[in-house]
């Protein structure tokens, strides 16, 4: 699969099988991730690979519970009481994400501060470090797709419980698990857009401006 095909067919995968990922395949994907550009060449990043069964399960439980919390914040409550709404959101997260518990690998993209920027550049340096982790993770998602592996960038689901996520793998407070993803062979790769996104999706021509703002290709 060439790079364009891998980029085009990479999709957020939320249903996994328990098929093991061979070590050599995993290493190829991890190395591709860390070939991303990094601001000032700082390498203010690391990848946490979670394969231990008990720890994987803890991460999955946390992400699924975080998902329920995310839905409770984002979805309209309607006539339901807060308790009914919460129960419905837990049930929904359990319905759509249960295979997170069998995915054979989780990877966390970590921002590891290197304290290498002078004080007056700390803000910009932080942004560069954050962008660099994102680039590494996108490399990982695309390389995984080329290997037939699914991923899903996940931030919101663990945002509520970052300290608990840190505790599972022994991360010091200053290390930020920016994004996490299951990594595993999917039941299938999603195609097209889910209906909810289709309604608001902006096509590429409306997002490309030639020479001046507003001069889009649509
Ligand atoms: C920064 C970022 C954070 C995301 N966080 C979550 C998340 O917490 N949970 C989730 O299921 N998907 C998450 N996603 C996945 C997006 O929902 C998904 O990429 C988007 O809907 C487009 O679908 P596609 O990736 O299949 O093209 C995140 C994506 C990005 C880029």
Look at ligand 1, atom 18, and give the residue with the nearest C-alpha.
12
Average pLDDT of the chain to the nearest whole number: 95
Q: Is the pLDDT of residue 158 over 70?
A: no
Check if 106 has its Cβ closer than 6 Å to any atom of ligand 1.
no
Residue 2: both structure tokens together: 């060439």
For residues 67 and 71, give the distance between their C-alpha atoms in angstroms, rounded to a whole number. 6
End-to-end Cα, the chain, rounded Å: 30
Which letter does DSSP use for residue 51 in this model?
A: -
Check if 15 has its Cβ closer than 6 Å to any atom of ligand 1.
no
Check if 134 has its Cβ closer than 6 Å to any atom of ligand 1.
no
Check if 152 has its Cβ closer than 6 Å to any atom of ligand 1.
yes
Over residues 71-78, the mean pLDDT reads: 91
**Helix, strand, coil % in the chain, rounded to nearest 5:** 50, 15, 35
pLDDT digits 0-9 by tens, 17-27: 999 999 999 99
For residue 123, the surrounding DSSP H or E stretch is: helix 122-146
Instruction: Sketch out the chain's domains with CATH numbers.
Output: 3-189 (3.40.109.10)
* CA nearest to 13, candidates 124, 117, 144: 144
For residues 116 and 18, give the distance between their C-alpha atoms in angstroms, rounded to a whole number. 41
Lowest-pLDDT choice from 54-68, 101-115, 131-145, 194-208? 194-208
pTM assigned to the model: 0.95
pLDDT band at 195 (very low <50, low <70, confident <90, very high): confident
Using the atom order of ligand 1, give the atom closest to the CA of residue 134.
1
For residues 56 and 180, give the distance between their C-alpha atoms in angstroms, rounded to a whole number. 12
pLDDT band at 156 (very low <50, low <70, confident <90, very high): confident
Distance 67 CA to ligand 1 centre (A): 12
Over residues 93-119, the mean pLDDT reads: 96
Residue 129: both structure tokens together: 């470090």
Over residues 131-150, the mean pLDDT reads: 98
pLDDT score, position 3: 96
pLDDT digits 0-9 by tens, 59-70: 999 999 999 999
pLDDT band at 128 (very low <50, low <70, confident <90, very high): very high
Distance 117 CA to ligand 1 centre (A): 30
Over residues 52-57, the mean pLDDT reads: 98
pLDDT score, position 122: 86
């Amino acid at each position: 699969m060439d790079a364009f095909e891998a980029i085009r067919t990479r999709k957020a995968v939320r249903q996994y099988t328990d098929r093991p990922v061979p070590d050599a395949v995993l290493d190829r994907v991890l190395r591709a991730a860390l070939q991303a550009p990094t601001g000032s060449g700082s390498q203010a990043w690391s990848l946490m690979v979670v394969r231990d069964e008990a720890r994987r399960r803890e991460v999955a439980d946390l992400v699924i519970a975080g998902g329920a919390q995310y839905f409770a914040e984002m979805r309209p409550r309607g006539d339901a009481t807060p308790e009914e709404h919460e129960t419905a959101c837990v049930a929904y997260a359990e319905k759509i994400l249960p295979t997170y518990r069998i995915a054979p690998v989780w990877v966390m993209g970590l921002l590891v501060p290197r304290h290498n920027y002078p004080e007056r550049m700390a803000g910009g340096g932080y942004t560069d470090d954050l962008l660099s982790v994102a680039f590494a993770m996108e490399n990982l998602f695309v390389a995984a797709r080329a290997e037939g592996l699914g991923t899903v960038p996940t931030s919101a689901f663990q945002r509520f419980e970052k300290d608990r996520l840190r505790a599972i793998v022994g991360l010091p407070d200053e290390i930020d698990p920016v994004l996490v993803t299951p990594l595993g062979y999917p039941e299938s790769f999603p195609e097209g857009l889910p209906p909810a996104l289709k309604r608001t999706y902006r096509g590429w021509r409306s997002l490309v401006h030639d020479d001046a703002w507003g001069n889009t290709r649509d």
